[in-house]
Structure 1
Amino acid sequence: MSRGHTRVQKAYEQLRAERVLEGESVSTVLGSPWRLQDALLVKDHVGLIHLMTRLPEDRERFDVPLGRLLRAAWIATNEDGGRRDWLDVVCTDARLLRTFLSLIGEMLDRSDESGRPSIDELAEVLESWRAALARERTAMDRNRLVGLFGELTVLERLAARDPQAALSSWKGRQGAIHDFSRTNALEVKTLVGDGSPAVTIHGEHQLDPPSGGALHLVAFRIADSAEGESLEELTARIAEHGVPYEDVLRTLGDDVPGIEDRQRRFAIEEIRLHEVTDDFPGLRSSRLSPETLRGVSNISYQLSLDACPGQLDPDQLEAVLENL
């Protein structure tokens, strides 16, 4: 029998290729040969990956406090004329997926060796992984705040010109391809640390300019700094330009930072500005055939800006915003 990490990776690759209709899901079994239905890997219609483990018939539900990145819920199903309870754990952030799959692999290995139900081993594995998940959550939360600081920096500069146009051009929070777009588009990225400037590109459309327009990419290198500016102060200045605070919160939706996070101070140490022209590297749907992209989802990769042509003087950012 193959190891748990191998089984879960094969199951994930199988689900990745599946197309899921809205409101439906696809699944594959993960359990041991003598308990195949003990655990399932599931992909829902929005692409989120779930682990479902079955509760033995003589057992009662229990609390599973996981937090924001791994979410747990109990689900009841009808099987053979009776009710069965399942624990559904879903990975809500694609950046945590590799960690989530490793956690599942360890659960399967332990269940294979002990003969205990997967759900029992899951409870213990989650406890042992809690510290690692907390560290990863802290790093990811900081990255989320830094990314938000970059977007609000651009929103503030646009609001100083035209507050209504600024808010209507802020598209990324609505699931659009680019962070800011009108006739032209601007993609906002953030850099942390002192390493080579590399940004994460999400999806096969992010480097495609809008139809009939131009695309620019701006990357802010952001650092924690007591001399910097807080998200609270930045949002207040946006409001002074005429974009109401409640409109910013409404646009952020579930991504609104907490009170402490809004007080963290950041400073911009470097600005990299590029025009995304035909010779700009990266994956693009306009360069790939539909057959190439069939069954492909959740594309994410690192792009080194040092390898990208079309670098502009950072002072030209104002002109880019003016012509957005």
Structure 2
Amino acid sequence: MSGESLRTLVEEHWSALGARPTTGDNRLRVSHLPVMTDQGPLTAAVDHEGHRHLLVPINTHRKIRSGLDGPVLQLRKRPLEDEDTYQVYADLACLRGDLNDLFTGVCVDVLTAVDRAPENPVKALYHVLDRWKALFQTQGPTLGPEQLAGLFAELLVLGQLLDRDPSAHRLWLGPKGHRHDFSTGNAAFEVKAGTDVSGRKPRIHGLDQLEVPADGSLCLVWFGLHRVTVSGSGIGFLELVKRTLQKCDDEGALIGLLAEAGYRPFEADRYRDVRFTVGEEKWYEVGTAFPRLTGSALLAAGRSPVSVMDVEYTIDLSGDAPVAMTPDEVSHVIDRIVEESA
């Protein structure tokens, strides 16, 4: 069963369980899932507070690791019994209803991993949690206004790539420290954003940020953004994150990239009121006539860039030159970078 089919299935189970009446504070409404282990099937559950659970059957004497106790995820050992059966589970629960969609992604990963290794479901569970839990538990500094605008713009570009290829998150290398935000090695995009209405003035970091890949191409993408406070106007930052995750075929990988870029799902409340309108979107081909400082240009001029460090500068694209690309040209370069990544 595909990941998307599993996602739909487990969501249907939780929705059906949530519609049932509660029968007690310490009771779970449960429904078996079609993934088997030596101890029995994995099970979806909903508690009296509406929190979602994934139950992994274990041996009675099996110990469960400690340390995962909120604020988003909770893991504990839980026995369940009815008139006919008694079974002990590793109970993974989501304590934040607004993160249910991400919890579904975690559970789909668990179901897939257990299906591949049904003889040791707890090991499969731990493997998945080790990939995900730091994203929920590690708190970092709040993204500043410029960082938010920059990440928002990068997600807008990523969304266009994902529209063509749901695996295009693999091209987003900026969070990992690559000199270009998106790259196949030959083709690259560098994304800049500004909220200053005075013009297009991207800040360039380093002598290699506008260096064109050898025998390749580079585009600078500029977004003029306006921060808005009126609910319903513009695009909410969290709305854009959710939309991008829905387009991607590997939510876990994309959530990891978002975390490296400074955004973690459990910190969503920090950014609930962040909204932008897109004033303009301009794409430029970075060629010989494009205004820039690069190491290769300094070498060509007989100057060594080796001892030049921490270079930052601003370029002004507010005039008629350089000329921005046409919509057809933009569509072509997006198609090309996706095709090169295939």
TM-score relative to the length of structure 1: 0.53
Letter in 2 for 1:309: P
CA distance in 1 between partners of 2:202 and 2:188 (Å): 17
Residues 160-193 of structure 1: CA distance to partner in whole angstroms, max 9, x if unpaired? 11121x1111111111111111131111000212
Which of residues 181, 186, 191 in structure 1 aligns to 2:189?
186
Match of 2:306 among 287, 291, 294: 294
- Distance (whole Å) between structure 1 residues aligned to residue 263 and residue 218 of structure 2: 27
Pick from 237, 252, 258 the counterpart of residue 231 of structure 1: 237
The 2-side partners of 1:177 and 1:299 are apart by 13
Decide whether the 8 Å contact of 2:146 with 2:194 is kept in 1: no
2:150 matched to which residue of 1?
Answer: 147
What CA deviation, in whole Å up to 9, does each residue of 1:204-228 have, x standing for no partner?
0111111121111110011123311
Cα distance change on mapping 1:195 and 1:314 into 2, 3 Å: farther
Paired amino acid for 2:202:
V
Verify the 8 A CA contact 1:150 1:190 in the aligned structure 2.
Answer: yes
CA distance in 2 between partners of 1:197 and 1:293 (Å):
27
Tell me which amino acid in the other structure corresponds to 1:180. Answer: F
1:207 equivalent in alignment to 2:210: yes
Q: 2:325 aligns with which of 306, 312, 323?
A: 312
What CA distance in whole angstroms lies between the structure 2 residues aligned with 1:319 and 1:214? Answer: 13
Q: In structure 1, how many angstroms separate the alpha carbons of the residues matched to 2:222 and 2:303?
A: 32
The whole-number CA distance in structure 1 between the counterparts of 2:289 and 2:317 is 13
Aligned partners of 2:174 and 2:180 also within 8 Å: yes
Q: Secondary structure at the match of 1:198?
A: coil
Task: Judge conservation of contact 2:195–2:227 (CA < 8 Å) in 1.
Answer: no
Q: CA RMSD in A?
A: 2.2
SS in 2 for 1:282: coil
Q: How far, CA to CA, are the matches of 2:270 and 2:253 in structure 1?
A: 19
Q: Kindly indicate whether residue 253 of structure 2 is the aligned counterpart of residue 247 of structure 1.
A: yes
**Matches of 1:309 and 1:241, distance apart in 2:** 33
Secondary structure of the 1:144 match is: helix
Q: Which runs of 5+ in 1 are unaligned?
A: 1-136
Partner of 2:292: 282
Contact 1:230 1:266 in 2 (8 A): yes
Shift of 1:317: 2.6
Q: Please state how far the C-alpha of 1:315 moved relative to its aligned partner.
A: 5.6
Q: CA deviation at 1:250?
A: 0.7
Please list the CA deviations of residues 278-314 of structure 1 after superposition, one character each: whole Å capped at 9, or x if unmatched.
Answer: 1111101111229632222211111001364242235
Cross-structure match for 1:256 = 263
Moved over 4 A (4+): none
Larger radius of gyration: 2
**CA distance 1:299–1:243, shift in 2 (3 Å):** farther
Question: C-alpha offsets along residues 257-277 of structure 1, whole Å, 9 cap, x if unaligned?
Answer: 532343211111111221111
Distance 1:187 1:204 in 2: 13
Amino acid paired to 1:215 = L
Any conservation in 2 of the 1:187–1:216 contact (CA below 8 Å)? yes
- Aligned AA (1:260): D
Report the counterpart of residue 265 of structure 1 in structure 2.
275
Cα distance in 1 between the residues matched to 2:303 and 2:197: 40
The one-letter code matched in structure 2 to 1:191 is G
Residues 193 and 243 from structure 1, CA distance in 2 versus in 1: closer, same or farther, beyond 3 angstroms? farther
Aligned twin of 2:171: 169
Contact 1:236 1:245 in 2 (8 A): no
Q: What secondary structure sits across from 1:160 in the alignment?
A: helix
Give TM-score, length-normalised by structure 2. Answer: 0.50
| Structure 2: runs of 5+ lacking an equivalent | 1-140, 338-342
- For the 8 Å contact 1:145–1:261, the answer to whether it is kept is no
Name the CA distance, whole Å, in 2 between partners of 1:267 and 1:246: 28
SS at match of 2:164: coil
Counterpart residue identity of residue 275, structure 1 = E
Letter in 2 for 1:278: T
Number of aligned residue pairs: 186
From 133, 137, 157, the counterpart of 2:160: 157
Q: Is the 8 A contact 2:188 2:219 kept in 1?
A: yes
Q: Is the 8 A contact 1:272 1:314 kept in 2?
A: no
Shift of 1:242: 2.7
